[in-house]
Structure 1
Amino acid sequence: MLTRCLAALVRQTLAPQRYEIVVCDDGPDETTRALVERVADAHRARALQVRYVPVTATQGPAGARNAGWRAARGETIAFTDDDTIPDARWLEAGLSAMADGACAASGAIVVPLPERPTDYEFDASGLARAEFATANAFVRKDALVAVDGFDERFTSAWREDSDLQFSLLAAGGRIVSASEARVVHPVRPARWGVSLSQQRKSAFEALLYRKHPALYRERIASTPPLGYYASTAAAAAGLAGALGQRPAVAGIGALLWLGLTLRFFLLRMRGRSRAWRHIAEMAVTSALIPFLSIYWRIRGAIRYRTWFL
């Protein structure tokens, strides 16, 4: 993926002397370093600088991006990920969008999907609808300095870009759209049941809410996931009834949980792949996701000491 991304970056319409490529690796290895050095050697004669920055102080995209923009020499930083394919005019279009003095710009992200995507593929396509995502974003370096860059407590690829967006807005910055600055973001393969491990990201919702409660309610979520809470409560009531030898309570709780789970399953299957493996995955994960999501939300609320439900 990195080879593909770099091949697109070295073909930018912007003159080679006007930009540099900084590859930040928060899982440093010699294979990646060697790849970047080969690309650097191939384009040195064009005066295009390509640099490898190993990141060992922290893990996650927030820490890696901080290392990148601090190492960069340009006044404007363009962020993307190694699994994207930037358009040839990406940099040129992004700079053009910021020409009127904006502190940041949000580019367009294209996520190709099959006619009937899996639930995971459709969820990944949410990047195309995001207000501000660092898979395609431009930020002035002085604006990054002013807000101290990314919050490295966001150790997964989740909400670290929203946190930067909200920090820039809170500091009085203006963020514009750069619709002509496009990157294609193919959905990378994922293992069966990946949506279960993704529920860990719910903890970072609490951190974002603690830092920017008004903007979080305005732009992300005004109400908690009531369906998840109802499903969890129904299962708890059913279990309590069974343990307390109250069959009526146990039966009502079990039926409510089953009905809510079936509804969740059907919602996730609407317009999605009908492959039997995908149907089985949706059935299993639909039963487990509400419990895991609520667990990580509560854990995040406790960890970051905020009333977040």
Structure 2
Amino acid sequence: MTSSTPADLPINLAPTVSVIVPVYNGERDLPELTRRLLAQTYPAERLEVLWVDNGSCDRTPTLLQSAVTAATAQGRQMQALTYCGVQSSYAARNHGIRVATGEILAFTDADCYPAETWLEQLVQPFTDPAVGLVAGEVEAFPGGNWLERYADRKQTLSQKSTLAHPFCPYGQTANLAVRATIFKQVGLFRPHLTSGGDADFCWRAQREGGWQLAFSEQAIVQHHHRDTLEGLRRQWYRYGCSNRYLHELHGIDLTRELTQKERRYRLGRWLLKELPLAAVSWAKGQGAAIDLLITPLDLVCFEARTRGQRQARLPEAAHQIEGL
């Protein structure tokens, strides 16, 4: 079956779209993200962009006002909102949802750079009335740092891993579109979650709402990988927290912890076998330097996720789901 893309449809037939971007101290990425959003090929008459500043203390408010001015000069719809009630990207998204006027709500993050055809590709699967959610692909922004290369090698941010979740597929809010009516049906994001809110919402939409989740691989946003070891640890610690929250909310299995024997075995195998082979391959120009460190970094990530699972405590308020 073939279907028209929004760019092929008469303007009055393309669904209206609201892009919602939560921002907290985003001054590094806002200028480029603004440029990318203003360059979208989706019909400008059917598009609005809503920034939601979640209490930034850097130059974010000034940059957002500059973005609105630039959009207005081009005849595009853009608003800069502020929400400080709860320090959470999900709470900020909820504020944007309440203000949005679009039939389709598209989400991305302040450190993401969407391709020019991002919205055009992301909205296309909604031509199927059974589809209520669409996840686009998240690719790594080119970086030379060895930790960024590691995350790229592991495809840490790819939606393909979340879409293959054994409990139920979901899309990350770095690149996700949702029919606005679904929020009226199953409620908003849980505002008191700090991680895992995208999975929780997608699961409610599918399991309670009966909606299908589609994947639009050509709807691409680029995302910065963590470029410090501490940043990588924090990222995987949050993944562990997410596992714990979703375990308590939905009963999913927790990730099994490695035993000390398993850790010693993996380190020994790396030192005696993997490292020498990777070093020889790299010396011959047949491999990458990052191959030398894959196993130690895997263990760093695994340990951080394990700590997150152990230490996370689901806030009592997270059991509440606000309606639209």
Deviation for aligned residue 1:96? 1.9
Identity of aligned residues (%): 20
**The one of 158, 162, 170 aligned to 1:127:** 158
Match of 1:197 among 234, 246, 251: 234
The CA distance in 1 between the partners of 2:125 and 2:272, in whole Å, is: 42
C-alpha separation in 2, matches of 1:58 and 1:267:
49
More displaced 10-residue stretch of structure 1: 35-44 or 196-205: 196-205
Aligned partner of 2:8 in structure 1 is: none
**Partner of residue 32, structure 1:** 60
Aligned length: 266
- 1:111 partnered with 2:140: yes
Residue 284 (structure 1) shift: 8.9
Deviation at 1:55, TM superposition (A): 2.1
Give the C-alpha shift of residue 268 in structure 1: 10
**Secondary structure of 1:126's aligned partner:** coil
Please give the alpha-carbon distance, in whole angstroms, between the structure 1 residues aligned to 2:62 and 2:217: 34
> TM-score normalised to the size of structure 2?
0.69
Q: Deviations over 1:132-173 (max 9, x none)?
A: 111111101110232222112321xx4221111111111211
Partner residue of 2:289?
274
Normalising by structure 1, we get a TM-score of 0.72
Map 1:218-257 → 2, pairs under 5 A: 224-226=255-257, 228=258, 230-231=259-260
Corresponding position of 2:15: none
Please report how far the alpha carbon of residue 8 of structure 1 lies from its aligned counterpart in structure 2 after TM superposition: 0.8
Alpha-carbon distance change, 285 to 135 in structure 1, aligned in 2, over 3 angstroms: closer
What is the match of residue 100 of structure 2?
72
Q: CA deviation at 1:77?
A: 0.4
Structure 1 counterpart SS, 2:86: coil
Q: Tell me: CA distance 1:197–1:180, structure 2 relative to 1, closer, same or farther (3 Å).
A: closer
Contact 1:113 1:122 in 2 (8 A): no
Q: 2:201 aligns with which of 164, 167, 186?
A: 164
Alignment pair present for 1:49 and 2:77: yes
Unmatched segments (≥5 aa) in structure 1:
235-255, 305-309
Secondary structure of the residue aligned to 1:62 is helix
Report the alpha carbon displacement of residue 266 of structure 1 after superposing the two structures with TM. Answer: 8.9
- Please say if residues 196 and 243 of structure 2, whose CA atoms lie closer than 8 Å, have aligned partners that are also in contact: yes
Amino acid at match of 1:154: L
- 2:185 counterpart of 1:146: yes
Deviations 1:17-49 (A, max 9, x none): 211111112233472222122222223244312
Gaps of 5+ in 2: 1-28, 164-170, 317-324
Distance 1:198 1:45, change over 3 A: closer
C-alpha root-mean-square deviation of aligned residues, in Å? 3.5
C-alpha distance in 1 between matches for 2:118 and 2:271? 39
Is the alpha carbon distance of 1:199 and 1:303 closer, same or farther for their aligned partners in structure 2, counting shifts above 3 Å? farther
- Which residue among 227, 231, 250 is the counterpart of 1:212? 250
Aligned to 2:308: 296
More helix, by proportion: 1
**Greater mean deviation of Cα atoms: 23-32 or 99-108:** 23-32
User: Are 1:59 and 2:87 counterparts?
Assistant: yes
Distance 1:4 1:266 in 2: 45
Query: Could you tell me which of 2, 12, 21 is aligned with 2:40?
Result: 12
**Post-superposition shift, 1:7?**
0.5
| Structure 1 position 262, deviation (Å) | 3.9
Shift of 1:267: 11
Quote the residue 2:127 is aligned against: 99
The answer to whether the Cα contact below 8 Å between 1:16 and 1:48 also exists between their aligned partners in 2 is yes
- Report if the CA contact (8 A) 1:17-1:48 is conserved: yes
